[in-house]
Amino acid sequence: MAELLKLEVVTPEKYVISEDVEIVMAPGTIGEFGVLSGHTPFLTSLKPGTINYKDSAGKDKIIFVSGGFSEALPDRVTILAESAERRRDIDIDRARAALDRAQKRLAQGKADNINFERAKASMYRAIERIKIVETRSL
């Protein structure tokens, strides 16, 4: 059996998971990366996307993360996220409503740069949440 490492995902609001896992894949801002037990330590920022991991029973799991930071050490990965939800905790109707709101704001044009960028970020979060829920059987 593969050596395990501890995966912890934390937001300012809650502890999302603390689990022993075989492998973690995460959306780094300069590209997706994978971590196995014994990995060289590194720190990176994250973009909105999915954390994929294999739990200690070898089952594939998936978590939404809205961005934040990841610290990898040889025996653990700690993800400090702005927000994060396990697949089963994602409210698909809420994500669809957020996508709809963001698209309407974007359709109004770029009159206000800050709101345009916020709407774009909100759209990316909603799309990633919807993709996770609609991904088959993880």
Under DSSP, is residue 108 helix (H, G, I), strand (E, B) or coil?
coil
Task: Please give the Cα distance from 99 to 12 (Å, whole number).
Answer: 23
CB-CB contact of 82 with 11 (8 Å): yes
Q: How far apart are CA 83 and CA 66, in angstroms?
A: 5
Q: C-alpha distances in angstroms, 57 versus 35, 52, 88, 95?
A: 17, 14, 19, 30
Site residues for ligand ATP, 27-46, by CB under 6 A, read none
Shortest Cβ 61–ligand ATP spacing (Å): 16
# of chain residues touching ligand ATP (CB under 6 A): 13
Q: Compose the 72-101 pattern: x for residues touching ligand ATP by CB under 6 A, - for all others.
A: -----------x-x---xxx--xx--x---
Question: Two tokens at 38?
Answer: 């014994």
**129 lies in the site for ligand ATP, by CB under 6 A:** yes
Output 14 or 59, the one with its CB closest to ligand ATP.
Answer: 14
Q: Measured from the CB atom, is 23 or 102 closer to ligand ATP?
A: 102
Using CB under 6 A, list all residues that contact ligand ATP. Answer: 13, 66, 83, 85, 89-91, 94-95, 98, 122, 125, 129
